[in-house]
């Protein structure tokens, strides 16, 4: 993934086997596959089921009051994404590392030949646009404007699309998502862990959102296993999870800042460390 021009940047990462590769899958397919795996591993699934409030006893989270009633647990994992449900319930503070960022995204019927095999990330005068074919005759786009004063309207973000895409008919509505860079000050505590976007998030150009959601779920399960099997090490297991997640976030934050410094019109707020606390 790189901006147009000579500067190249390996956004996915690399290890001794070579550069990491990016894969694309529709959210519905991935969700269904993960749910099926969980069910076959013996997980009891309630769906749909909204979590309303956290149940606590002496500062410890002991369960969830949800559509399905009161569910008690040794640990509650919050995987509510940008909603950050449990963080709000517990009034956890967060560090915000960017200006307010809203990604607009939509779908188009059709598939211009130049996007047929490889997705593209295009630098625009106000940010970037990501374009990818995600199915036969279906093209996805995401547009992000860097500056708060340029938070684009739906119409403006469509106008940032390359001309060959502007001509294509829209499929569904254009939507927006808060993708401001943010990490919760506490991602593990007595009786709870935060995973995925509920714990920390960067904008989609970091390209690790789904991977981080999956891997933080696995690490959280390990932390819970460790603290239940060796209760004396409970605090250590929570601290280890917090260090692991924070380390990854800080690494990706540095990478994303480097990437944006190569942008022909970099965000003005880029040099500002720790923009504010929430
Ligand atoms: C436009 C856009 C494009 C992106 N592109 C990419 C990409 O190409 N690659 C990539 O890796 N990442 C991408 N991301 C980021 C990626 O989508 C997220 O990082 C990832 O989905 C986070 O997963 P999650 O499970 O933590 O949260 P989510 O996927 O947001 O899932 C959270 C779930 O919790 C549910 N929920 C919320 N509150 C409650 C409640 N109270 N009770 C019950 N359920 C609740 C929500 O309905 C939702 O189903 C993109 C993000 C955006 C906005």
Residue ending a domain, choose from 129, 153, 178: 178
Q: What is the pLDDT of residue 106?
A: 92
Confidence class for position 247, pLDDT limits 50, 70, 90: very high
172, 187, 209, 255, best to mutate for ligand 1 pocket (most atoms within 8 Å of CB): 209
Is 264 found in the same domain as 235?
yes
Residue 15 resides in a domain? no
Rounded to whole angstroms, the Cα distance separating 241 from 163 reads 46
Residue 67 resides in a domain? yes
Total structural domains in the chain?
A: 2
Rounded to whole angstroms, the Cα distance separating 57 from 226 reads 22
Any atom of ligand 1 within 6 Å of the Cβ of 215: no
Which residue range forms the structural domain that includes residue 131?
A: 102-178
* C-alpha of residue 278 to centroid of ligand 1, in Å: 20
CA-based nearest residue to 192, from 94, 77, 86, 89: 77
Run of H or E including 226: helix 209-229
CB atoms within 10 A of CB 101: 23
Rounded to whole angstroms, the Cα distance separating 236 from 228 reads 12
Is 198 found in the same domain as 67?
yes
Is 137 found in the same domain as 107?
yes
- Residues contacting residue 135 through CB under 8 Å, at least 6 positions apart: 26
Bridge-based pairing state of the strands 69-72 and 60-66: antiparallel
Residue 247 resides in a domain? yes
Q: What is the pLDDT of residue 111?
A: 84
Run of H or E including 64: strand 60-66
Residue ending a domain, choose from 127, 148, 178: 178
Give nearest CA residue, ligand 1 atom 15.
209
Is 227 found in the same domain as 211?
yes
- 5 or 202, which is more confident? 202
Is 253 found in the same domain as 238?
yes
CA-based nearest residue to 202, from 80, 101, 130, 106: 101
Is 257 found in the same domain as 122?
no
| pLDDT single digits (tens) 5-50 | 433 444 566 788 887 777 778 889 999 999 999 999 999 999 999 9
Residue ending a domain, choose from 162, 178, 194: 178
Rounded to whole angstroms, the Cα distance separating 181 from 195 reads 15
| pLDDT single digits (tens) 55-100 | 999 999 999 999 999 999 999 999 999 999 999 999 999 999 999 9
Is 120 found in the same domain as 83?
no
Residue 276 has pLDDT above 60, yes or no: yes
Any atom of ligand 1 within 6 Å of the Cβ of 101: no
Mean pLDDT for 254-259 is: 94
* C-alpha of residue 82 to centroid of ligand 1, in Å: 7
Q: Which two tokens stand for residue 271?
A: 């040099």
CATH of the domain at 192: 3.50.50.60
Q: What is the pLDDT of residue 1?
A: 47
């Amino acid at each position: 993934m790189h901006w147009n021009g000579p500067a190249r940047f390996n956004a996915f990462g690399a290890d001794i086997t070579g550069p990491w590769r990016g894969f694309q899958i529709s959210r519905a397919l991935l969700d269904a596959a993960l749910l099926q795996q969980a069910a076959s591993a013996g997980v009891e699934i309630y769906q749909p089921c909204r979590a309303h409030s956290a149940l606590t006893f002496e500062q410890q989270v002991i369960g969830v009051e949800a559509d399905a009633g009161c569910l008690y647990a040794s640990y509650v994992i919050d995987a509510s994404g940008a909603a950050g449900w449990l963080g709000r319930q517990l009034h956890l503070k967060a560090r915000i590392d960017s200006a307010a960022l809203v990604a607009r995204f939509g779908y188009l019927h059709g598939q211009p030949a130049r996007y047929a095999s490889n997705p593209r990330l295009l630098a625009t005068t106000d940010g970037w646009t990501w374009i990818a074919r995600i199915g036969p005759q279906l093209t996805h786009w995401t547009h992000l404007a860097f500056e708060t004063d340029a938070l684009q309207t739906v119409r403006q973000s469509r106008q940032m699309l390359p001309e060959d895409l502007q001509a294509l008919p829209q499929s569904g509505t254009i939507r927006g998502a808060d993708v401001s860079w943010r990490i919760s000050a506490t991602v593990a505590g007595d009786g709870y862990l935060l995973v995925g976007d509920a714990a920390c998030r960067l904008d989609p150009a970091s390209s690790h959102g789904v991977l981080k959601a999956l891997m933080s779920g696995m690490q959280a399960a390990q932390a819970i296993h460790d603290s239940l099997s060796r209760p004396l090490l409970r605090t250590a297991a929570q601290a280890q999870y917090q260090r692991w997640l924070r380390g990854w976030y800080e690494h990706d934050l540095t990478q994303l800042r480097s990437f944006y410094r190569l942008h022909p019109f970099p965000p003005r707020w880029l040099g500002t460390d720790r923009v504010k606390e929430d």
